[in-house]
Structure 1
Amino acid sequence: MGKQINYLSLSDLKKELKTLDHKELTSIIVNSYKLNNEVKQQLSVKFNREDMVERLFHKYKKQIVDEFFPDKGFGKMRLSHAKKAISTYKKLTDDQEGTLELMLIYLETGVSFTNTYGEIDERFYNSMSSMFDKVTDHCQKEAIVFNKYQTRLKEMVENTEGIGWGFHDELSDIFYSKMA
């Protein structure tokens, strides 16, 4: 059994970074950029925000859609992969509107998937209901967001008519308690 690795704490890292000169800091950042794709994406967003946010949005949107409807073959429906795409996008860009849009894409694609292939399982519907709840919470807090997404959310509820596991009833309850 190996020993547990004790990484440098964030506060200790900050103390150490304060002791370095500009050249040493630059070297650390460049090496981190080379080693880690998320660091590369984060720094690209920092220094080329508009272009990178758009590119990342499309990258993560494709990842979400591909879990259900890939260009070739059948979807793997790995909900954790689709949700990770949303959380990674949010973490990298801090783009609230884009994150909400990805959440809606997840929901719309999931509803389309179940309408195409039939009943899934309780885990699937729980994940969809939970995401729907988060989106409607956000819409409930901001009138502009509410107005922008109300029609899409209502259509989503309507598109679940006849789906089992109480899915339609759950989305209806959430929607009409928050949005109507």
Structure 2
Amino acid sequence: MASKPKKAAPSWSDVKARLAEFDRTTLLGLMQDLYAASKDNQSLLHARFGLGGDVLEPYKATIDRWLWPNVYRNQDVSVSKAKKAIADYKKASARPEGLAELMVFFCERAAGFAREFGFQDETYMDALVRMFQQALKQVTALPEEQREALLDRLNRVSVVSDVLGYGVADDMEAMLADYR
């Protein structure tokens, strides 16, 4: 018995070829369906087109949920899901000031949760330090008028981190000194 030839999974090239066949009305209908299909799609489109009030809010809500979970409801911490929110924003918009804001917010929430609840997890602390470094790079690349407030917030993260252990505050202080 002859086996059926396996079809390769559809790829972006296949989708793109089909989209080329669409007229404007059909394409708008597809976009409307995608928009209605999920909050993630809505967030992406709002961020891409700069629509609505605070386009960063849904990304911040995700970061907040995964870095400062409700411990009384036994919610888990997930650095990877919090980082995914930043990656999703980067795909949607990649506005440098928005990316810097999300990275600084990540650091604030991670350090705040660890301090508030005495959360001692080496992987979590490593992720905090790596994000702090990335945030510093992102912030220092911004125009000067946008830079100072974010650098002040990163400095506060360093101060909050003084009791976390794992050399977190020392690493942050050294990084801040390099960027000054």
Report the TM-score, using the length of structure 2 for normalisation: 0.78
**Per chain length, whose mean CA-contact separation is higher, i.e. which structure has more relative contact order (CA < 8 Å, sep 6+)?**
2
Q: Partners of 2:23 and 2:51 in 1: how far apart?
A: 30
Q: Equivalences for 1:28-107 in 2 at 5 Å?
A: 28-35=30-37, 37-45=39-47, 49-51=50-52, 54=54, 56-67=55-66, 68-70=68-70, 73-107=73-107
| RMSD (Å), alpha carbons | 2.8
Whole-angstrom CA distance in 2 between matches of 1:4 and 1:120: 48
Q: One-letter code of the match for 1:165? A: Y
Kept in 2, the 8 Å contact 1:119–1:164? The answer is no
Which residue of 2 is the match for residue 169 of structure 1? Answer: 170
- CA positional deviation for 1:15: 4.0
**AA paired with 2:62?**
Q
SS in 1 for 2:41: helix
Q: Residues 35 and 137 of structure 1: is their aligned pair in 2 closer, same or farther, counting only changes over 3 Å?
A: same
Percent identity between the two aligned chains: 22
What runs of 5+ residues in structure 1 fail to find an aligned partner? none
Instruction: Quickly say closer, same or farther: Cα 1:177–1:36, change in 2 above 3 A.
Output: same
User: Could you say which residue in structure 2 is the equivalent of 1:124?
Assistant: 124
Aligned to 1:120, what secondary structure does the other structure show?
coil
- One-letter amino acid of the structure 1 residue matched with residue 82 of structure 2: A
Aligned counterparts of 2:33 and 2:122: Cα–Cα separation in 1: 45
Structure 2 portions without partners, runs of 5+: 1-5
Letter in 2 for 1:20: F
Deviation at 1:75, TM superposition (A): 4.7
Aligned residues: 173
Partners of 2:88 and 2:159 lie apart in 1 by: 30
Tell me how far 1:146 sits from its aligned partner: 2.8
